[in-house]
Amino acid sequence: MHKHHRALGLAKAPSVGIANAAEIAKLRPVQPVTLLRPHAARRAARYFVEKFPGRSLYAVKANPSPELLQLLWAEGVTHYDVASLGEVRLVAETLPESTLCFMHPVKAEEAIAEAYFKHGVKTFSLDAMDELDKIMSATRGATDLNLLVRIRVSSDHSKLSLATKFGAEPSELTRLLFATRQAADAMGICFHVGSQAMNPAAYSEAMGRVRDAIVDAAITVDIVDVGGGFPSSYPGMEPPPLEAYFDVIHRTFEALPISYSAELWCEPGRALCAEYASVLVRVEKRRGDELYINDGAYGALFDAAHIAWRYPVALVREPASDVRSMPFSFYGPTCDDLDHMVGPFELPGDVRAGDYIEIGMLGAYGCAMRTQFNGFTVGENVIVEDEPMTSLYGAVATETRSNVVKL
Ligand SMILES: *Cc1c(COP(=O)(O)O)cnc(C)c1O
């Protein structure tokens, strides 16, 4: 962090960070600058730890930065959903006391073996008999495993489907649950309703599938894991409050025919870290309603390019523009036509080359997906103290926020 601040031209790394995007824009950074808001990640973690009626695992793929992992840990997130050997090693090294759960249903045998024998991972998910055999063989018939069977549920309420790739075949499910029950110390059922689930009903419908599976197999279940999918707020995608999701999950969990000692888990990724980061980009060229900016599809804007995800944007200029806003699309810095973010992104009509724009809510599946394609790399990370551009955790008055940006 210290080194980064110096590189930006800030004499000393302030221990509490600098206030906001406008101050950074004054330094006229050439590379995109990542604005980190530790207070926003802490607030999200506290919310889940205090209000989710069970255990919250952080899904590391949404943003694996070690600083973020440490923030979440400090707020009481003790369990981490990892999906690759790289994530297992990273979290084991960053948070040696944490509990890792290897929740990718298709793993390499070598990865399972290293996770179990070297890093003490005891929790694995699976969605087929082959994977169960693989886990038992890689762990040499371990008897202390928590095994969660991933069932297939609908992604109808979600913006990003996760319904086709994973999930046990319905025709095989009873047999698989039975065999897993035999092999596991603790047995669970897990699912994922898809990312950015816009309706809490996604979880009640999925819980209906869990109930059917338990009844059909007539087995006892020790863990029900409702996965991720908890939404964040984006333009045109303002979800109901998270409490509505927690209520539905709590109610449907309580109604399941499982023992009173069964545990409820969830695996939020996006909801814990979307508000953690935004990116300050520079406009290098304007062509009509198209802005050529210095970050894009191969940087933090993969989803904006590939699935037309919309992020909140704000012009960071002093004095603030009073020109009426209009819709823009963005081109990223590479030479690739695909490096195009259709938006629309609403910005004042007088945006021009040399302006800085803050793009919000890039803490989840934004910063994590950067590449160095075409020689464009990311610039500094700077801690800021102002509020994220939108928030699901209250306390964010949009007015306060725009005052900050306009100064
Ligand atoms: C990606 C993923 C998550 C996190 O999903 P979000 O939509 O970001 O909450 C949780 N669990 C599993 C198994 C995943 O693959």
Residues 163-217: tens digit of each pLDDT: 788 999 889 999 999 999 999 999 999 999 999 999 999 999 999 999 999 999 9
Place of tokens 């009873």: 174
- Report if residue 43 sits inside a domain: no
Are both 220 and 349 inside the same structural domain? Answer: no
The two tokens of residue 70 are: 């440490």
User: What is the pLDDT at residue 375?
Assistant: 86
User: What is the pLDDT at residue 259?
Assistant: 77
Q: How far is the CA of 79 from the centre of ligand 1 (A)?
A: 14
- Report if residue 365 sits inside a domain: yes
For the stretch 128-144, pLDDT in tens is: 999 999 999 999 999 99
- Report if residue 262 sits inside a domain: yes
Q: How far is the CA of 74 from the centre of ligand 1 (A)?
A: 21
Are both 113 and 178 inside the same structural domain? Answer: yes
- Pick from 251, 267, 283: which residue ends a domain? 267
Are both 322 and 259 inside the same structural domain? Answer: no
Whole-prediction pTM = 0.92
- Report if residue 390 sits inside a domain: yes
Is residue 242 within 6 Å of ligand 1 at its C-beta?
no
In Å, what is the CA distance from 113 to each residue of 104, 109, 124, 184? 14, 6, 11, 16
- Report if residue 46 sits inside a domain: no
**What CATH number should be reported for the domain holding residue 360?**
2.40.37.10
Are both 226 and 304 inside the same structural domain? Answer: no
Are both 200 and 316 inside the same structural domain? Answer: no
Give Rg (Cα) of the chain: 22
The two tokens of residue 163 are: 């319904």
Q: How far is the CA of 4 from the centre of ligand 1 (A)?
A: 31
Domain that holds residue 289: 3-37+275-406
The two tokens of residue 364 are: 């989840």
Instruction: Please name the residue whose Cα sits nearest to atom 15 of ligand 1.
Output: 104
Separation of alpha carbons 192 and 205, rounded Å: 12
Q: How far is the CA of 57 from the centre of ligand 1 (A)?
A: 10
Q: How far is the CA of 233 from the centre of ligand 1 (A)?
A: 17
Is residue 62 within 6 Å of ligand 1 at its C-beta?
yes
Q: How far is the CA of 137 from the centre of ligand 1 (A)?
A: 27
Is residue 269 within 6 Å of ligand 1 at its C-beta?
yes
User: What is the pLDDT at residue 178?
Assistant: 96
User: What is the pLDDT at residue 8?
Assistant: 52
Q: How far is the CA of 372 from the centre of ligand 1 (A)?
A: 25
- Report if residue 47 sits inside a domain: no
Are both 309 and 329 inside the same structural domain? Answer: yes
Q: Do 373 and 388 contact (CB within 8 A), yes or no?
A: no
Are both 253 and 373 inside the same structural domain? Answer: no
Place of tokens 């996770």: 115
Instruction: Please name the residue whose Cα sits nearest to atom 5 of ligand 1.
Output: 228
Q: How far is the CA of 160 from the centre of ligand 1 (A)?
A: 11
Separation of alpha carbons 60 and 80, rounded Å: 7
For the stretch 357-371, pLDDT in tens is: 999 999 999 999 999
Instruction: Please name the residue whose Cα sits nearest to atom 3 of ligand 1.
Output: 228
Give me the helices (H) in 75-194, please. 85-94, 109-113, 119, 129-138, 170-183
Is residue 150 within 6 Å of ligand 1 at its C-beta?
no
- Pick from 267, 284, 317: which residue ends a domain? 267
Is residue 127 within 6 Å of ligand 1 at its C-beta?
no
Are both 239 and 336 inside the same structural domain? Answer: no
The two tokens of residue 89 are: 């090693």
Are both 327 and 224 inside the same structural domain? Answer: no
Residue 402 has pLDDT above 70, yes or no: no
Q: Quick one: pLDDT band at residue 161, thresholds 50, 70, 90?
A: confident
Are both 108 and 230 inside the same structural domain? Answer: yes
Is residue 270 within 6 Å of ligand 1 at its C-beta?
yes
Place of tokens 């069977």: 149
Are both 213 and 152 inside the same structural domain? Answer: yes
- Report if residue 340 sits inside a domain: yes
User: What is the pLDDT at residue 162?
Assistant: 80
Q: How many domains does the chain contain in total? A: 2
Is residue 366 within 6 Å of ligand 1 at its C-beta?
no
Residue 160 has pLDDT above 90, yes or no: no
The H or E element spanning position 262 is: none
For a substitution probing ligand 1, which of 124, 153, 161, 192 has the most ligand atoms within 8 Å of its CB?
A: 192
Separation of alpha carbons 4 and 348, rounded Å: 31
For a substitution probing ligand 1, which of 61, 127, 246 has the most ligand atoms within 8 Å of its CB?
A: 61
Is residue 267 within 6 Å of ligand 1 at its C-beta?
yes
Instruction: Please name the residue whose Cα sits nearest to atom 13 of ligand 1.
Output: 103
Are both 58 and 20 inside the same structural domain? Answer: no
- Report if residue 44 sits inside a domain: no
**What CATH number should be reported for the domain holding residue 63?**
3.20.20.10
- Pick from 238, 267, 296: which residue ends a domain? 267
Q: Quick one: pLDDT band at residue 395, thresholds 50, 70, 90?
A: low
Residue 71 has pLDDT above 70, yes or no: yes
